Amino acid sequence: MITDGLPACWDFQLFIKDLHFDGVPVRIYLPKEPSASKRRGVIFIHGGCGIFGSFSKELKEKMRLFTRKSDSVVVSVGYHLAPEQKYPAQTLECLTATQHFLKTAETYGVDPARIIVCGDSVGGTFTATVCQELGHRTDIPKIRAQVLIYPYLQALNFNLPSHQKNAAVAFLTRERAVRYILKYLNKDCSLKEPILAGSHVPESINSKYRKWINPDLIPDAFKVGYKPPLPALFSPQVHQEVQELFEPRVSPLLAEDAVVCGVPDTCIVTCEHDVLRDEGLLYKKRLEDNNVRVTWHHVEKGFHSALGFFGYERVMSWVRESSI
């Protein structure tokens, strides 16, 4: 009861159904009240580092609230977790579920031109990846927008200002961020320390991506007290062990401009007390540099996993007020 909450089988205002989209488990929330026109659609991808959570356990009441307040049809994706399902199964399942909904939206009373993808934490990673991979597709409807809530977006540099400032903040410390990504990729957690130091990145890769992942790109207001770390000694052995960290499916910030320019309108939510804060700021700049329209909400007193404690009012407000 504590972990799952109440059963999701009854709601006076919603139809709630457990389905499979091309084999991927989903839970769909549909308003019972008829609509004069086709509704918006929202695909929600939950966080949990790819190793925790599911649509049956996380945020059921908030999914209901989101559906009612935004008058949308919401699809929560129950991707299978790592390490039992090996990377990149999670991303591929989110991609499959999204494609299925885009193709069949009208079946659920949804306008296929008004579908957004939304995710928190690693759900934001999967959201960013889905939008990158579908950005230039012409055989299915375009995703209207993406919402990235304190997303994890890169694994090159764990010494950005937000990593230093929030290294020991509750729910996601700097150390846990690396430990969880290693668990997600089914890697030896003893690699954590050299990755935290930056020993997994050769100078050639650092040079290539410095234009996108660089403390100098963070606004000065977010760098108070920041001290640049000493250069790390490169370890070829560690680099060889963690090649996946350099793939855009793990680090969407590393996608090429030709990919990034194709993503839809974006809303990014960052929190001040979050090790991942600066990743959202860096992606915001990358999108703007590629002429993608970005709405940015920064929560001054927010922290990673805050959605587990507070409502979706900020996101719902953006959905209601936007042109979606």
Strand 145-149: give its sheet, edge to edge.
14-21, 24-31, 72-77, 39-45, 110-120, 145-149, 265-273, 294-303
Answer yes or no: 251 catalytic. no
- The DSSP annotation for 165-224 comes to HTTT-SSS-HHHHHHHHHHHTT--GGGHHHHHHTTTS-HHHHHHHTTTS-GGGS-GGG-T
Of these residues, 120, 265, 274, 278, which one is catalytic? 274
Return the exposure string of 236-252: e unless at least 16 CB atoms fall within 10 Å of the residue's CB, then b: eebbebbebbbbbbbbb
Answer yes or no: 235 catalytic. no
Count of C-beta atoms within a 10 Å radius of residue 85: 14
CA 74 to CA 269: how far, in whole Å?
A: 19
- Residue 141 near residue 117, CB atoms below 8 Å: no
CA 159 to CA 229: how far, in whole Å?
A: 7
Answer yes or no: 121 catalytic. yes
What is the DSSP-derived secondary structure letter of residue 16? E
CA 290 to CA 169: how far, in whole Å?
A: 33
Q: HSE of 177 in the Cβ direction (CA atoms, 13 Å)?
A: 34
Report residue 160 as tokens: 């950005």
Count of C-beta atoms within a 10 Å radius of residue 283: 28
Report residue 153 as tokens: 């977006």
Of these residues, 121, 162, 199, 235, which one is catalytic? 121
Phi, psi of 313 (to 5 degrees): -55, -40
Active site members: 121, 274, 304
